[in-house]
Amino acid sequence: MALRQIVTLPEPVLRRKAKPVTKFDKDLQTLIDDMIETMRDAPGVGLAAPQVNISEQLAVIEYSEDEDDEDEEVEGATPKPKKLYVIINPEIVKVSEEKVMGIEGCLSIPGLIGEVERYEAIQVKALNRHGKPVKLKVDGWTARIFQHEIDHLNGVLFTDLSKRVWKPDEEEEIPLD
């Protein structure tokens, strides 16, 4: 495995609709492993292939809803492990009626965060790393991360959707994709 360089604006690949993945070969598996390592090293909670200068419909996401509850940790309680998702050629097939505002950042737009309205819950149809179909129902911050990463695959950045964008204070911690 190897760390990949995360590209930033104004890199053109970030604005292009990525191509569907058609070959599930050794090169794809290496790319997936490299993206997971790069995401963890950044550190981020998601990474889309265009962010490592590859125009393909692939994203990796790793997050645990417990990360929101750090203040509420119970002594002796075992935190939920982070869940790792690999989504290829993803498509949002169902969305909740409820939308929520949240603050997002992006590894490809360092130094800025923004308020973005997203669906509270979504259902995603995709392929896993071996080309097998999967259907995922996610909500909360996990749903936000999925929507953010799928936007990357369509050339859309969080700043395109933000109600407002700003430079964060040093104490503002935001999950980054």
Rounded to whole angstroms, the Cα distance separating 121 from 118 reads 9
Please tell me which residue in 56, 62, 104, 149 is annotated as part of the active site.
149
Residue 119 CA from chain centroid, whole number: 15
Question: Is 149 an annotated catalytic residue?
Answer: yes
Q: Specify whether the CB–CB gap between 19 and 55 falls below 8 A.
A: yes
Buried b (16+ CB within 10 A) or exposed e, 72-90: eeeeeeeeeeeeebbbbbb
Given a contact cutoff of 8 angstroms between Cβ atoms, the answer to whether 172 and 71 are in contact is: no
Give the E-state strand segments of the chain in sequence order. 46-48, 58-63, 83-95, 99-105, 113-119, 121-127, 133-139, 164-166
Q: Which residues are catalytic?
A: 149
